Amino acid sequence: MIINLVVPCYNEEAVLPETARQLAAAIDGMAERGIVSDRSGIYFVDDGSRDRTWDLIAALQAARPARFHGIKLSRNCGHQAALLAGLRHAPGDALISIDADLQDDVGVIPSMVEEFRLGHDIVYGVRQGRRSDSAFKRSSATAYYRLLRWLGVEVVLDHADFRLMSRRALDALGKYQEVNIFLRALVPLLGFKATSVYYDRSARLAGVSKYPLGRMLGLAVNGITSFSMRPLRLIAYAGFTMSMVSFLIGIWALFVVSFTSRGVPGWASIVVPIAFVGGLQLVSLGVIGEYIGKIYMEVKRRPLFEIEEIR
Protein backbone atom coordinates (compact mmCIF):
# COMPACT_ATOMS: atom_id res chain seq x y z
CA MET A 1 0.00 0.00 0.00
CA ILE A 2 1.63 3.20 -1.17
CA ILE A 3 0.60 6.28 0.78
CA ASN A 4 2.09 9.59 -0.30
CA LEU A 5 2.01 12.90 1.50
CA VAL A 6 1.30 16.09 -0.43
CA VAL A 7 2.77 19.26 1.04
CA PRO A 8 2.13 22.68 -0.53
CA CYS A 9 5.01 25.06 0.19
CA TYR A 10 5.16 28.79 -0.36
CA ASN A 11 8.27 30.51 0.96
CA GLU A 12 8.73 27.86 3.61
CA GLU A 13 12.56 27.71 3.80
CA ALA A 14 12.36 28.34 7.56
CA VAL A 15 10.36 25.19 8.34
CA LEU A 16 11.06 22.90 5.42
CA PRO A 17 14.09 21.00 6.82
CA GLU A 18 12.29 20.18 10.07
CA THR A 19 9.04 19.36 8.24
CA ALA A 20 10.88 17.02 5.89
CA ARG A 21 12.58 15.34 8.84
CA GLN A 22 9.35 14.75 10.76
CA LEU A 23 7.30 13.64 7.77
CA ALA A 24 10.04 11.28 6.61
CA ALA A 25 10.28 9.86 10.13
CA ALA A 26 6.52 9.23 10.08
CA ILE A 27 6.75 7.36 6.77
CA ASP A 28 9.88 5.47 7.87
CA GLY A 29 8.10 4.37 11.04
CA MET A 30 5.04 3.13 9.19
CA ALA A 31 7.16 1.41 6.54
CA GLU A 32 9.20 -0.38 9.21
CA ARG A 33 6.06 -1.68 10.86
CA GLY A 34 4.81 -2.82 7.48
CA ILE A 35 1.75 -0.55 7.57
CA VAL A 36 2.68 1.15 4.30
CA SER A 37 4.98 0.25 1.45
CA ASP A 38 8.55 1.46 1.63
CA ARG A 39 7.89 3.12 -1.72
CA SER A 40 5.66 5.67 0.00
CA GLY A 41 7.00 9.19 0.07
CA ILE A 42 6.48 12.89 0.27
CA TYR A 43 5.54 15.21 -2.59
CA PHE A 44 6.46 18.81 -1.95
CA VAL A 45 4.67 21.26 -4.23
CA ASP A 46 6.61 24.49 -4.53
CA ASP A 47 3.99 27.16 -5.16
CA GLY A 48 6.27 29.65 -6.89
CA SER A 49 8.32 30.43 -3.80
CA ARG A 50 10.70 33.37 -3.95
CA ASP A 51 13.08 32.05 -1.31
CA ARG A 52 15.25 28.92 -1.21
CA THR A 53 12.30 26.53 -0.86
CA TRP A 54 12.85 24.85 -4.22
CA ASP A 55 16.60 24.47 -3.65
CA LEU A 56 15.87 22.77 -0.35
CA ILE A 57 13.34 20.45 -1.99
CA ALA A 58 15.83 19.62 -4.75
CA ALA A 59 18.52 18.88 -2.17
CA LEU A 60 16.16 16.62 -0.20
CA GLN A 61 15.22 14.82 -3.38
CA ALA A 62 18.86 14.30 -4.31
CA ALA A 63 19.65 12.96 -0.84
CA ARG A 64 16.75 10.50 -0.65
CA PRO A 65 15.23 10.10 -4.10
CA ALA A 66 12.98 7.28 -2.96
CA ARG A 67 11.38 9.30 -0.18
CA PHE A 68 11.29 12.91 -1.38
CA HIS A 69 9.76 14.26 -4.56
CA GLY A 70 9.31 17.81 -5.75
CA ILE A 71 6.76 19.49 -8.01
CA LYS A 72 7.52 23.08 -8.92
CA LEU A 73 4.74 25.36 -10.12
CA SER A 74 5.72 28.07 -12.58
CA ARG A 75 4.34 30.86 -10.39
CA ASN A 76 2.45 31.42 -7.15
CA CYS A 77 -0.95 29.89 -7.88
CA GLY A 78 -2.34 29.84 -4.36
CA HIS A 79 -2.65 27.21 -1.68
CA GLN A 80 -5.70 25.43 -3.11
CA ALA A 81 -4.23 25.25 -6.61
CA ALA A 82 -0.88 24.00 -5.27
CA LEU A 83 -2.68 21.36 -3.25
CA LEU A 84 -4.69 20.28 -6.27
CA ALA A 85 -1.52 20.09 -8.38
CA GLY A 86 -0.06 17.67 -5.84
CA LEU A 87 -3.26 15.63 -5.60
CA ARG A 88 -3.47 15.33 -9.38
CA HIS A 89 0.17 14.40 -9.94
CA ALA A 90 1.26 12.28 -7.01
CA PRO A 91 0.74 8.54 -7.47
CA GLY A 92 -0.22 6.14 -4.69
CA ASP A 93 -3.16 4.21 -3.28
CA ALA A 94 -4.00 7.17 -1.08
CA LEU A 95 -2.70 10.69 -0.57
CA ILE A 96 -2.57 12.74 2.59
CA SER A 97 -2.46 16.51 2.24
CA ILE A 98 -0.76 18.41 5.04
CA ASP A 99 0.52 21.96 5.46
CA ALA A 100 4.25 22.62 5.41
CA ASP A 101 4.25 24.45 8.75
CA LEU A 102 3.39 21.34 10.83
CA GLN A 103 0.38 23.00 12.46
CA ASP A 104 -1.37 19.74 11.74
CA ASP A 105 -0.33 16.82 13.91
CA VAL A 106 2.00 14.40 12.12
CA GLY A 107 1.22 11.94 14.93
CA VAL A 108 -2.29 11.19 13.63
CA ILE A 109 -1.11 10.16 10.17
CA PRO A 110 -0.96 6.47 11.22
CA SER A 111 -4.58 6.69 12.47
CA MET A 112 -5.59 8.15 9.11
CA VAL A 113 -3.89 5.24 7.35
CA GLU A 114 -5.59 2.82 9.74
CA GLU A 115 -9.03 4.28 8.90
CA PHE A 116 -8.14 3.95 5.23
CA ARG A 117 -7.28 0.28 5.74
CA LEU A 118 -10.65 -0.14 7.44
CA GLY A 119 -12.28 0.93 4.20
CA HIS A 120 -12.77 4.68 4.43
CA ASP A 121 -12.10 6.61 1.25
CA ILE A 122 -11.83 9.98 2.91
CA VAL A 123 -10.40 10.69 6.36
CA TYR A 124 -10.75 14.25 7.64
CA GLY A 125 -8.30 15.67 10.13
CA VAL A 126 -10.43 17.67 12.55
CA ARG A 127 -9.01 20.20 15.01
CA GLN A 128 -10.07 19.46 18.51
CA GLY A 129 -8.66 22.57 20.07
CA ARG A 130 -7.75 25.84 18.47
CA ARG A 131 -5.76 27.10 21.39
CA SER A 132 -2.90 28.15 19.16
CA ASP A 133 -5.12 30.38 17.01
CA SER A 134 -5.95 33.94 17.99
CA ALA A 135 -9.40 34.66 19.45
CA PHE A 136 -10.24 36.58 16.28
CA LYS A 137 -9.33 33.67 14.01
CA ARG A 138 -11.26 31.26 16.21
CA SER A 139 -14.49 33.22 16.35
CA SER A 140 -14.39 34.33 12.72
CA ALA A 141 -13.79 30.74 11.63
CA THR A 142 -16.74 29.46 13.67
CA ALA A 143 -19.02 32.21 12.36
CA TYR A 144 -17.89 31.47 8.81
CA TYR A 145 -18.54 27.73 9.06
CA ARG A 146 -22.02 28.50 10.43
CA LEU A 147 -22.69 30.88 7.54
CA LEU A 148 -21.54 28.25 5.04
CA ARG A 149 -23.90 25.69 6.51
CA TRP A 150 -26.79 28.14 6.50
CA LEU A 151 -26.09 28.80 2.83
CA GLY A 152 -26.32 25.08 2.18
CA VAL A 153 -22.60 24.41 1.71
CA GLU A 154 -21.61 21.14 3.33
CA VAL A 155 -18.32 21.40 5.19
CA VAL A 156 -16.77 19.42 8.02
CA LEU A 157 -16.56 21.64 11.07
CA ASP A 158 -13.02 22.58 12.15
CA HIS A 159 -11.48 20.73 9.25
CA ALA A 160 -9.11 22.52 6.91
CA ASP A 161 -6.97 20.74 4.35
CA PHE A 162 -5.41 17.95 6.40
CA ARG A 163 -7.02 14.84 4.97
CA LEU A 164 -6.49 11.47 3.42
CA MET A 165 -8.11 10.61 0.10
CA SER A 166 -8.16 7.19 -1.53
CA ARG A 167 -7.27 6.73 -5.17
CA ARG A 168 -10.91 6.40 -6.19
CA ALA A 169 -11.87 9.55 -4.28
CA LEU A 170 -9.00 11.34 -6.05
CA ASP A 171 -10.19 10.04 -9.40
CA ALA A 172 -13.65 11.36 -8.62
CA LEU A 173 -12.16 14.71 -7.64
CA GLY A 174 -10.33 14.77 -10.98
CA LYS A 175 -13.69 14.99 -12.73
CA TYR A 176 -14.37 18.37 -11.17
CA GLN A 177 -12.89 20.78 -13.67
CA GLU A 178 -13.89 24.06 -12.03
CA VAL A 179 -11.23 26.69 -11.52
CA ASN A 180 -12.57 28.39 -8.39
CA ILE A 181 -11.55 25.67 -6.03
CA PHE A 182 -12.40 25.36 -2.37
CA LEU A 183 -11.39 21.80 -1.60
CA ARG A 184 -12.95 21.81 1.85
CA ALA A 185 -16.42 21.94 0.32
CA LEU A 186 -15.60 19.98 -2.83
CA VAL A 187 -14.41 16.84 -1.04
CA PRO A 188 -17.67 16.24 0.92
CA LEU A 189 -19.50 16.51 -2.43
CA LEU A 190 -17.68 13.40 -3.64
CA GLY A 191 -19.52 11.15 -1.22
CA PHE A 192 -17.89 7.79 -0.38
CA LYS A 193 -17.31 6.45 3.08
CA ALA A 194 -15.72 9.14 5.23
CA THR A 195 -14.60 9.50 8.81
CA SER A 196 -12.61 11.90 10.96
CA VAL A 197 -9.58 11.73 13.19
CA TYR A 198 -9.06 14.38 15.86
CA TYR A 199 -5.96 16.32 16.80
CA ASP A 200 -4.79 19.47 18.52
CA ARG A 201 -3.68 22.18 16.16
CA SER A 202 -0.40 23.64 17.27
CA ALA A 203 1.30 26.90 16.41
CA ARG A 204 3.30 27.37 13.25
CA LEU A 205 6.73 25.79 13.70
CA ALA A 206 8.65 28.63 12.04
CA GLY A 207 8.12 31.36 9.48
CA VAL A 208 5.01 33.49 9.15
CA SER A 209 1.51 32.74 7.86
CA LYS A 210 1.23 32.86 4.08
CA TYR A 211 -2.44 33.71 4.42
CA PRO A 212 -2.77 37.43 5.02
CA LEU A 213 -6.28 38.68 5.79
CA GLY A 214 -7.01 39.65 2.18
CA ARG A 215 -6.25 36.17 0.90
CA MET A 216 -8.25 34.56 3.65
CA LEU A 217 -11.25 36.73 2.79
CA GLY A 218 -10.81 35.79 -0.87
CA LEU A 219 -10.90 32.11 0.04
CA ALA A 220 -13.90 32.69 2.28
CA VAL A 221 -15.85 34.45 -0.50
CA ASN A 222 -14.86 31.67 -2.89
CA GLY A 223 -16.26 29.09 -0.51
CA ILE A 224 -19.65 30.77 -0.68
CA THR A 225 -19.87 31.81 -4.31
CA SER A 226 -18.54 28.52 -5.69
CA PHE A 227 -21.03 26.39 -3.83
CA SER A 228 -24.16 28.32 -3.02
CA MET A 229 -26.81 29.99 -5.14
CA ARG A 230 -28.52 31.24 -2.03
CA PRO A 231 -27.13 34.79 -2.16
CA LEU A 232 -28.88 35.18 -5.53
CA ARG A 233 -32.10 33.79 -4.09
CA LEU A 234 -31.89 36.24 -1.21
CA ILE A 235 -32.23 39.06 -3.74
CA ALA A 236 -35.48 37.57 -4.96
CA TYR A 237 -36.75 37.18 -1.41
CA ALA A 238 -35.85 40.79 -0.65
CA GLY A 239 -37.75 41.80 -3.80
CA PHE A 240 -40.87 39.94 -2.75
CA THR A 241 -40.68 41.48 0.69
CA MET A 242 -40.32 44.95 -0.83
CA SER A 243 -43.30 44.30 -3.08
CA MET A 244 -45.44 43.28 -0.14
CA VAL A 245 -44.33 46.34 1.80
CA SER A 246 -45.09 48.64 -1.13
CA PHE A 247 -48.53 47.07 -1.40
CA LEU A 248 -49.20 47.77 2.29
CA ILE A 249 -47.87 51.30 1.93
CA GLY A 250 -50.20 51.80 -1.02
CA ILE A 251 -53.24 50.69 0.97
CA TRP A 252 -52.22 52.87 3.88
CA ALA A 253 -51.67 55.89 1.59
CA LEU A 254 -55.09 55.39 0.01
CA PHE A 255 -56.63 55.13 3.45
CA VAL A 256 -54.93 58.33 4.66
CA VAL A 257 -55.97 60.27 1.55
CA SER A 258 -59.57 59.03 1.54
CA PHE A 259 -60.57 58.90 5.17
CA THR A 260 -58.42 61.39 7.08
CA SER A 261 -57.59 65.02 6.68
CA ARG A 262 -53.84 64.40 7.12
CA GLY A 263 -53.17 63.55 3.50
CA VAL A 264 -50.37 65.69 1.99
CA PRO A 265 -51.02 66.34 -1.72
CA GLY A 266 -48.56 64.44 -3.91
CA TRP A 267 -47.16 62.24 -1.12
CA ALA A 268 -48.85 58.98 -2.05
CA SER A 269 -48.17 59.40 -5.76
CA ILE A 270 -44.44 59.70 -5.00
CA VAL A 271 -43.91 57.14 -2.26
CA VAL A 272 -46.04 54.30 -3.61
CA PRO A 273 -44.39 54.14 -7.06
CA ILE A 274 -40.92 54.31 -5.51
CA ALA A 275 -41.61 51.37 -3.21
CA PHE A 276 -43.39 49.48 -5.98
CA VAL A 277 -40.68 49.99 -8.60
CA GLY A 278 -37.99 49.17 -6.03
CA GLY A 279 -39.67 45.86 -5.28
CA LEU A 280 -40.18 45.15 -8.97
CA GLN A 281 -36.49 45.74 -9.71
CA LEU A 282 -35.35 43.46 -6.93
CA VAL A 283 -37.72 40.71 -8.05
CA SER A 284 -36.43 41.07 -11.61
CA LEU A 285 -32.83 40.88 -10.39
CA GLY A 286 -33.75 37.79 -8.43
CA VAL A 287 -35.24 36.15 -11.54
CA ILE A 288 -32.15 37.02 -13.58
CA GLY A 289 -30.00 35.77 -10.69
CA GLU A 290 -31.82 32.46 -10.77
CA TYR A 291 -30.91 32.00 -14.43
CA ILE A 292 -27.33 33.15 -13.90
CA GLY A 293 -27.06 30.65 -11.06
CA LYS A 294 -28.24 27.89 -13.40
CA ILE A 295 -25.75 28.97 -16.08
CA TYR A 296 -23.02 29.02 -13.44
CA MET A 297 -23.79 25.49 -12.34
CA GLU A 298 -23.97 24.30 -15.95
CA VAL A 299 -20.61 25.74 -17.00
CA LYS A 300 -18.91 24.05 -14.06
CA ARG A 301 -19.81 20.69 -15.66
CA ARG A 302 -19.67 18.97 -12.32
CA PRO A 303 -20.31 15.24 -12.54
CA LEU A 304 -23.92 14.42 -11.66
CA PHE A 305 -23.03 11.20 -9.86
CA GLU A 306 -20.20 8.90 -8.98
CA ILE A 307 -20.70 5.15 -8.91
CA GLU A 308 -19.23 3.59 -5.81
CA GLU A 309 -20.02 -0.05 -6.52
CA ILE A 310 -21.74 -2.27 -9.05
CA ARG A 311 -22.73 -5.81 -8.24
Residues that bind ligand UDP (CB under 6 A): 8-10, 12, 47, 76, 78-79, 82, 99-101, 103, 209-211
Closest CA to 193 of 102, 278, 118: 118
Closest CB to ligand UDP among residues 129, 273: 129
| 8: partner contacted, choices Mg ion, ligand UDP, none (Cβ within 5-8 A by kind) | ligand UDP
9 binds, options ligand UDP, Mg ion, none, Cβ within 5 to 8 A by partner type: ligand UDP
Buried b (16+ CB within 10 A) or exposed e, 16-49: beebbeebbebbeebbeeebbeeebbbbbbbbbb
**What is the contact surface with Mg ion in residues (CB under 5 A)?**
99, 101, 103
Computed from CA positions of residues 97, 101, 103, 106, in that sequence, does the dihedral angle turn out positive or negative?
positive
Q: How far is the CB of 3 from ligand UDP (least distance, A)?
A: 19
In angstroms, give the least distance from the CB of 157 to ligand UDP: 17
Angle (deg, nearest 10), helices 230-259 and 267-300: 170
- Closest CB to ligand UDP among residues 134, 261: 134
Distance, CA of 11 to CA of 203 (rounded, Å)? 17
10 binds, among Mg ion, ligand UDP, none (CB under 5 to 8 A by kind): ligand UDP
Identity of the residue, 48 or 250, whose beta carbon is nearer to ligand UDP in the bound complex = 48
How near is the Cβ of 220 to ligand UDP at its closest, in Å? 12
Other Cβ atoms within 10 Å of 185 Cβ, number: 19
Q: Which of 173, 180, 178 is nearest to 218 (CA)?
A: 180
- 78 makes contact, choosing from Mg ion, ligand UDP, none, with CB < 5 to 8 Å by partner type, with ligand UDP
Nearer residue to ligand UDP within complex by CB, 121 or 158: 158
**Inter-residue contact 228 to 147 (CB < 8 Å):** no
Q: Give the shortest CB-202-to-ligand UDP separation in angstroms.
A: 11
Could you give the 3-state DSSP secondary structure of residue 41? Answer: coil
Comparison of 189 and 205: residue with beta carbon closer to ligand UDP: 205
CA–CA gap between residue 69 and residue 91 (Å, rounded): 11
